[in-house]
Chain A
Amino acid sequence: MLRIFEFLYKIRTFLLFVLLEFLAVWMIVSNNSPQGAAFFNSSNAWAGKALEKQSEVVQFFSLAEANASLNSENALLKQKLLRHQAQPDSLPLQIDSLLEVRYKFIGARVIANSLRLSQNYITLNKGEKDGVKPGMGVFNSQGVVGRIKSVSENYAVAFSLLNTSLMLSAKIKTSDVFGSIQWNGTTSSEAQLLYVPRHVKVSKGDTILTSGFNAVFPEGILIGQISEVAVNQKDPNYLALTVQLSTDFSRLTYVYLVENPAFQELDSLQNQSILTND
């Protein structure tokens, strides 16, 4: 027995090494599941505050740009609003669930962002207090940005679209064929559109939008344009489509969060009937 203890004492450094590595790997694994280890995220108060201060300094230099993009978006929205303002009409219009406003929007500022890793995350300055919930979609005026992963009181962490574990439901605008957008971890301006069958006619420059099938994003938010069409080498039944992302991830400043209040209902209904839409 003493021998064993002596032996263990001799290799104590190695044992500690194994233990610490095990802890680290456990952290990596649990962090990559959406629910786990929310505490250590930069959504925790201290890290969040520090990152916010840093981003305040950095973003001061891009204020003009942010202003311009907000301004142009405002103009666009004004124009759309004008179209929707009801004209006095003799025809009474029944409001039904089809016309109901289904989505809620929250504005937020990006305080930390990475793009060079293969699992990239974005930290936002809005949290539980402001009504942010895990699973909400994130986009900006350019296009889709990502999806909320975990939330603390004042901050939230989102999967960037540049995260190899995130998949979004997308469709091709011209043909309405849908597939899944996933990033393959190489270029920060390109993603892959998967599961588009080979018989579909696709050409370079086709616009890719969110499909609205998974109820995270409203239908029709821009994702990007097809930049390359090829046949999938691994599975010849599908096309390998490369999409030039419309969002410039290196200059994210302001984003919108979108929530579908009916998401729970839809999701549970689809689960009940064992439908899967991704």
Chain B
Amino acid sequence: MTSRNIISYSFLILTLVVVQLLFLKNLAVFGQAFGFLYLLGLLVLPRTLRTIPLMVLAFFLGLCIDVFFQTLGMHTAAATCFAFFKHIWLKISSPSGSYEESEELTLSQIGFVRYVSFALPLLFLHSLVFFVADHWGTGTFISVVSKSFFSSVFTFFLTILVQLLFFKRKRGIL
């Protein structure tokens, strides 16, 4: 990654965190679908960023969200899990050699179909971990799964919306 890239990614993640904290804090569509937009920052980071730094980044990102959301540990656990499985899932979900190493994993770079198969399961995993942690010992299985499902779909649409509106086509981010 070039230093210019690092700056623009940091800016992106910072912006997403601020948006998450200020606007998506109390938003829950129909009381079911939560928007975890900050995951977009972890999602679009290129493969050159290996799993270990990505995981550490995710850990602190989750912690940062947690401190403000009064959900200490939950976002941390979910985001770390998300980061750990990102590269594994990329390997499984794509035929070998179809990704370039330095490629950004944005919608415009990898195309819609690949983006769906790449992003949606990861987002679902994150939501699942989060709601299992949240409902631990109290909620029902159905409510955990339905909340996870709708949240991941909602988050998925949010990530697409943000990318369509704010990302430059074919030219990386910002």
Given contacts A20-B55, A20-B80, A114-B26, contact A26 B134 (CB under 8 A): no
B21-37 at interface with A (beta carbon < 8 Å): 21-22, 25-26, 28, 31, 34
Bin the interface of chain A by size: 35 or more
* Min C-beta distance of B61 to chain A, whole Å: 12
Q: Is B9 interfacial (CB 8 A cutoff)? A: no
Is the CB of A116 closer than 8 A to any CB of chain B? yes
Interface segment, one of A42-50, A196-204, A268-276: A42-50
Query: Is B19 in the interface zone, CB < 8 Å from A?
Result: no
A24 partner residues in chain B, CB cutoff 8 A: 59, 62, 73-74, 76-77, 80
Chain A residues in 8 Å Cβ range of B71: 117, 119
Inter-chain CA distance A247–B76, complex, in Å, is 31
Q: Is A12 positioned at the interface, with any CB of B under 8 Å from its CB?
A: yes
The answer, yes or no, to whether B125 is at the interface (CB within 8 Å) is no
Establish whether residues A40 and B22, one from each chain, have CB atoms under 8 Å apart when the complex forms: no
Give the contacting residue for A113; candidates B26, B31, B62, B138; CB below 8 A: B26
Question: With an 8 A cutoff between CB atoms, is B90 at the interface?
Answer: no
Residues of A within 8 A of B138 (CB): 118, 164, 184-185
Docked-complex contact A40 and B139, CB < 8 angstroms: no
Residues of B within 8 A of A40 (CB): 63, 66-67, 72
Q: B69 at the A/B interface (Cβ < 8 Å)?
A: yes
Whether the pair A13, B77 counts as a contact (CB closer than 8 A) is no
Asked whether B92 is an interface residue with its Cβ less than 8 Å from the other chain, the reply is: no
Residues on A with beta carbons closer than 8 Å to the beta carbon of B68: 42, 47, 50-51, 112
Count of inter-chain pairs, beta carbons less than 8 A: 99
Question: Which listed residue (B22, B52, B70) contacts A13, Cβ 8 A?
Answer: B52
A27 within 8 A of B: yes
Chain B at the A interface: SS class: helix
Could you tell me how many residues of chain B have their Cβ less than 8 Å away from some Cβ of chain A?
35
Query: Are A13 and B76 closer than 8 Å at their CB atoms?
Result: no
A174→B101 CA distance, assembly (Å): 71
**Binary interface encoding of chain A residues 31-42 relative to chain B, with 1 for a CB under 8 A from any of its CBs, else 0:** 100000100111
**Distance in Å: Cβ of B81 to nearest Cβ of chain A:** 7
Residue B51, interface by CB 8 Å:
yes
How many angstroms from the CA of A7 to the CA of B139 in the assembled complex?
A: 40
Closest CB in chain A relative to B169 CB, distance in Å: 33
- How far, in Å, is B156 (CB) from chain A's closest CB? 19
Report which residue of A113, A123, A185 has the largest number of chain B beta carbons within 10 angstroms of its beta carbon: A185
Which residues of the other chain, A, contact B135 by a CB distance below 8 angstroms? 118, 185
A17 interfacial by beta-carbon distance below 8 Å: yes
The answer to whether B67 and A118 have CB atoms under 8 Å apart is: no
Which residues of chain B come closer than 8 Å to A113, judged between CB atoms? 26
Out of B25, B67, B80, name the residue touching A21 (CB < 8 Å): B80
Looking at the assembled complex, report how far the CB atom of B155 sits from the nearest CB atom of chain A, in whole angstroms: 14
Instruction: Show 20 residue pairs from A and B whose CB-CB distance is below 8 angstroms, ordered by the A residue.
Output: A13-B51, A13-B55, A16-B52, A16-B55, A21-B80, A24-B77, A24-B80, A29-B73, A31-B72, A31-B73, A37-B72, A42-B68, A50-B21, A113-B26, A114-B26, A114-B70, A117-B134, A118-B135, A119-B71, A186-B143
Nearest 9 A/B pairs, CB to CB: A27-B73, A28-B73, A24-B77, A121-B70, A31-B72, A116-B28, A24-B76, A164-B138, A17-B84
Given contacts A20-B80, A24-B74, A120-B70, 6 further A-B contacts (CB under 8 A): A14-B84, A20-B76, A24-B73, A50-B68, A118-B138, A188-B31
